A = this chain, B = another copy of it.
Amino acid sequence: MLVNPISETNQISAMIEWLASFGKTESGGVTRLLYTPAWKEAQQALKAKMEEEGLQTYFDSVGNLFGRLQGTENSGTILTGSHIDTVAEGGKYDGAYGIIAGFIAVTRLFRKYGAPKKTIEIVSLCEEEGSRFPLTFWGSKNICGIYNLNVAKKIQDTDGIAFLDAMRASGFDPQHYTPPVRPDVKKFVELHIEQGMVLEKNEKAIGVVTHIVGQRRYTVRIKGESNHAGTTPMQLRKDAVSAAAEFISYLTRKAKETDPRLVATVGQIDVKPNVSNVVAGEVAFSLDVRHHQSEVIEQYCEDIFAAFERDAAKMGVGVAVTKWLDAEPVELDRELAETARSIAKQQKIAFQDIVSGAGHDSQIFGPFCPTLLLFVPSQNGISHSPKEYTAIRDLETGILLLENILYKLAYE
């Protein structure tokens, strides 16, 4: 295994810090949401860096950024990269690492070997997390022809800003939208942090992802009656907060009973009027459910929503459930996975197969073209947090593997 010069290891760490400076927060994390100024600055800065290395760069009509290394043959494009957006108060590696890894691997290949046979493009996907608007994979779904402007027309963020207005304000005018589909893309390779504890526990440097879990996200809205906290007897209340508490306790318990690999999360709660001396009249909460088998998700959701309806009737409140994300489990390309394993073996990199509990752009590309997703370890499994961390040695191992894989796919 090639030992990389210190300067190259420094390059990785410097680029991680550099990209994290766009949207840096007081707690040392990163908040870089779709179509915000920090998002735009990051994309522009990446574009400039790619151009410095001699790549052709361009944006598509939704804000995905591409850095292109033209191939000598006219035989399609090998795409590598990840997403530029973060969750609120996220870490420096989630999504960013895959873009930086692609940049470093591709520029190293270019410097060592010149132009490839097949065109290679690095992509900085505009949005994946669903952390600003109730839409996810906006970048990859547009490329794969699954989304277009229609799904975004009525969407707004929690400050009431319309999606299309935000898009326009950051320089991507909806009027100039054309579906940015890419039939030339023949393979997609993504490098990402694990965001779990398995690789670290098993002392592996690389995870070869075989499946990505299916997931559903809902908004549950409870309608009670707001009233005076002092003069309304308990038995006469239609308290949306009490009802929400009952539902949330129930769904958490039920998830644990159903399957140890099922996860169900209420991450966001919105109470109206949200004042200490007023019985709450309305509560909306988010629900995020994931498992690698559709049937398990389906049955669990059916059970809990039936229970909500029954309990709501007893409590005299109304309940309405809206689903806004529904992603099927995805199995990734077996041949590419095998390529990754054999190169890792050759390079004496410790690896294992793994299932991803997080959604990734790879699950969108998966049905569209042969796709490979590789993980590097996350310290303590922490992600979506300023404490997110991966050791530089592991970051470097991932880039080395990616470089070798891209060589095989585009130069051989």
Contact = CB atoms under 8 A, between A and B. Distances in A.
Contacts of A276: 130, 217, 265, 267-268, 286, 288
A295 to B, nearest CB: 18
Given A234-B256, A262-B234, A358-B228, A130 B277 contact: yes
A160 interface: no
Contact of A87 (B88, B131, B275, B381): B275
Chain A interface main SS type = loop
A129 B277 CA distance: 8
B227 A383 contact: yes
A339 interface: no
Nearest to A257: B234
Contacts of A217: 276-277
Q: How large is the interface on A (under 10, 10 to 19, 20 to 34, 35 or more residues)?
A: 35 or more
Contact of A382 (B195, B227, B233): B227
A87 B194 CA distance: 47
A21 interface: no
A249 B252 contact: no
Interface stretch (A40-48, A164-172, A240-248): A240-248
Contacts of A197: 236
Contacts of A382: 227
B252 A242 contact: yes
- How many monomers of this protein are in the complex? 2
A246 B266 CA distance: 13
Interface in A202-245: 213, 215, 217, 226-236, 239, 241-242, 244-245
Interface string A90-111: 0000000000000000000000
A88 B249 contact: no
Q: Considering residues A131, A228, A271, A383, which has the most beta carbons from chain B within 10 angstroms of its beta carbon?
A: A228
Interface in A112-164: 129-131
Nearest to A265: B229
A308 to B, nearest CB: 13
A63 interface: no
8 smallest A-B Cβ distances: which pairs?
Answer: A276-B286, A196-B231, A245-B248, A231-B357, A229-B265, A230-B357, A230-B358, A245-B245
20 contacts: A88-B275, A89-B226, A89-B273, A196-B228, A197-B236, A227-B383, A228-B383, A229-B265, A229-B384, A230-B290, A230-B358, A230-B359, A231-B357, A232-B357, A239-B252, A245-B248, A245-B249, A249-B249, A277-B384, A281-B385
